[in-house]
Amino acid sequence: MKTKQILSSLILVVIFLITACGGTSAPTEDAMMKKETPTAEAMMEKPTPMADAMMEKGTPTADAMMSKETPTEETMMEKETPTAEAMMTEEMSSDDAMMEAPAWYSASLTDVSTGQTFTINDFKGKVVLVETMAIWCSTCFRQQGQVKALHDMLGQRDDFVSIGLDVDPNEDAASLKSYVEKNGFDWLYAVATTEVAQDISKHYGDQFLNPPSAPIVVIDRHGEAHPMPFGVKSADDLLQFIQPFLDGTM
């Protein structure tokens, strides 16, 4: 009887111990996987705070980097490369500044033979020969004989004009008209005003106000002046000098 009681007591103790140990036993592998190791889906659904911060603030997207850091070809063309039209406009503006006409081109002059007024600018697109002279100057007379021979060589041309400018302040239109008619010079003659004479001297030198130097300046179709060497020039010399301008176009 006592033996049975002892065995029963031992069995109860063992069962108690087993039950107690089972309640505090180590967690199974399944429990550890469920509680400690998040699934791939959980990780994708709930990124870490650091990942959130990087995605929102720290790491720009590829599109953002392209738009902010790399200018497109179109942007570079618009901002850095001037258009052909702009370049042409600037170049033309520069040429206009270089080719600004002297003041005497726009001065009103009076043809002593007809009384009609004209300016050098009226003949833009033509070749113009201008001789500064005086009635008393024998060298001028000889030079004008060669200009007349030049006109005979060229014949009638609408694109060529000769002008004699009297630069002696003591001579007037009436005296110049008589001189022209007497010698049969059938091109334009006018008395230069003081302002015209001074502007010619300013651009081509004081010798252009000294008639015995036989000064002549040729103005081409573009309005650019080409002074000739001083001294009497033959008709052949005159033709050789002006022919390239006659052959040129606007």
Check: pTM over 0.85? Answer yes or no. Answer: no
- The domain that contains 157 carries what CATH number? 3.40.30.10
Quickly tell me which residue has 């010079």 as its tokens: 185
Query: Which of these ranges, 43-57, 79-93, 138-152, 236-250, has the smallest mean pLDDT?
Result: 43-57
Two tokens, residue 195: 């302002």
- Give the domain extent around 202: 103-247
**In-domain check, residue 130:** yes
pLDDT at 131 over 90: yes
Q: Which of helix, strand or coil describes residue 216?
A: strand
The contacts of residue 139 (CB under 8 Å, 6+ apart) are 211, 212, 213, 214, 232
Between the ranges 26-30, 40-44, 245-249, where is the mean pLDDT highest? 245-249
pLDDT at 6 over 80: no
pLDDT of residue 176: 98
Domains in the chain: how many in total?
1
Predicted confidence band of residue 145 (pLDDT cuts 50, 70, 90): very high
Segment 174-181 mean pLDDT: 97
Two tokens, residue 175: 């005296």
**In-domain check, residue 98:** no
pLDDT at 183 over 90: yes
- CA pair distance 127, 6, nearest whole angstrom: 147
Kindly give the residue spans of alpha helices, DSSP state H, lying in the chain.
2-23, 29-36, 40-45, 49-53, 62-69, 73-80, 84-98, 138-154, 173-183, 194-204, 235-247
pLDDT of residue 161: 97
pLDDT of residue 28: 46
**In-domain check, residue 116:** yes
Q: Which of helix, strand or coil describes residue 166?
A: strand
- CA pair distance 228, 242, nearest whole angstrom: 10
Quickly tell me which residue has 């100057």 as its tokens: 137
**In-domain check, residue 88:** no
pLDDT at 59 over 80: no
**In-domain check, residue 50:** no
pLDDT of residue 248: 84
**In-domain check, residue 81:** no
- CA pair distance 190, 132, nearest whole angstrom: 10
**In-domain check, residue 32:** no
CA angle at 48 for the pair 46 and 51, rounded to the nearest 5°: 110
Chain segment 203-246, per-residue pLDDT in tens: 999 999 999 999 999 999 999 999 999 999 999 999 999 999 99
pLDDT of residue 249: 75
**In-domain check, residue 2:** no
pLDDT of residue 125: 95
Query: Which of these ranges, 88-102, 124-138, 169-183, has the smallest mean pLDDT?
Result: 88-102
Q: DSSP letters along 87-130, please? A: HHHHHHHHHHHHTPPPGGGGS-EE-TTT--EE-GGGGTTSEEEE
Chain segment 72-128, per-residue pLDDT in tens: 555 444 444 455 555 554 544 444 434 588 999 999 999 999 999 999 999 999 999
